[in-house]
């Protein structure tokens, strides 16, 4: 089963040229920023809810959440340096659908730090999504969905 972030990264790699805006797996990783290109992007998933939409032995599960997309440019290039990157992100992800992932909208850019952060100028975009999958509930731990519920207790 693919995760929302894996599908997001696959769409990025197919639709955004690496020479325009490479995706860097930087979350919870020790990245040597000296070796990074002048402009790059990364994303983190911020899950909010994961609920069963239907019941049964294979219920639909819907996750809703937000991707936080970080765009980075070396300081000194100014705030307009990421304009093309912002356009690519918006065109690629706003309304995108694949393998149960639906990205509803892309908002931003949000200025993370107007003064920059050391060597890097930072912008953030947010992308609201839902992700629909099925959960296999046929094992002993999740069994019994198909049985009628017990009667309500009497008065």
Neighbours of 4 (CB within 10 A): 21
What CATH number corresponds to the domain at position 23? 3.30.2000.10
In a domain, 27, yes or no: yes
Average pLDDT, integer, range 135-147: 58
Q: Smallest Cα–Cα separation from 5: which of 32, 37, 28, 21?
A: 28
In a domain, 120, yes or no: yes
Q: How many domains does the chain have?
A: 1
* Tens-digit pLDDT profile for residues 85-117: 999 999 999 999 998 899 999 998 887 665 555
In a domain, 22, yes or no: yes
In a domain, 45, yes or no: yes
Number of H helices, E strands in the chain: 2, 5
pLDDT of residue 47: 79
In a domain, 35, yes or no: yes
In a domain, 154, yes or no: no
Give the structural domain span for 49. Answer: 4-134
In a domain, 140, yes or no: no
Model pTM score: 0.78
In a domain, 149, yes or no: no
* Tens-digit pLDDT profile for residues 22-78: 999 877 777 777 788 888 899 998 878 877 777 766 677 888 999 999 998 887 766
**In terms of pLDDT, which residue wins out, 79 or 132?**
132
């Amino acid at each position: 089963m693919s995760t929302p972030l894996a599908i997001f990264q696959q769409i990025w790699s197919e639709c955004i040229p690496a020479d325009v805006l490479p995706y860097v797996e930087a979350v919870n990783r020790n990245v040597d920023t000296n070796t990074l290109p002048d402009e790059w992007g990364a994303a983190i998933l911020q899950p909010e809810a994961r609920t069963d939409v239907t019941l049964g032995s294979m219920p639909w599960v819907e996750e809703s959440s937000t991707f936080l997309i970080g765009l980075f440019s070396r300081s000194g290039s100014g705030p307009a340096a990421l304009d093309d990157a912002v356009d690519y992100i918006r065109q690629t992800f706003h309304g995108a659908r694949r393998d149960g992932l639906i990205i509803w909208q892309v908002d931003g850019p949000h200025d993370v730090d107007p003064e920059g952060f050391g060597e890097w100028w930072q912008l953030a975009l947010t992308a609201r999504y839902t992700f629909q999958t099925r959960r296999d509930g046929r094992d002993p731990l999740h069994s019994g969905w198909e049985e009628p519920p017990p009667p309500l207790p009497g008065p």
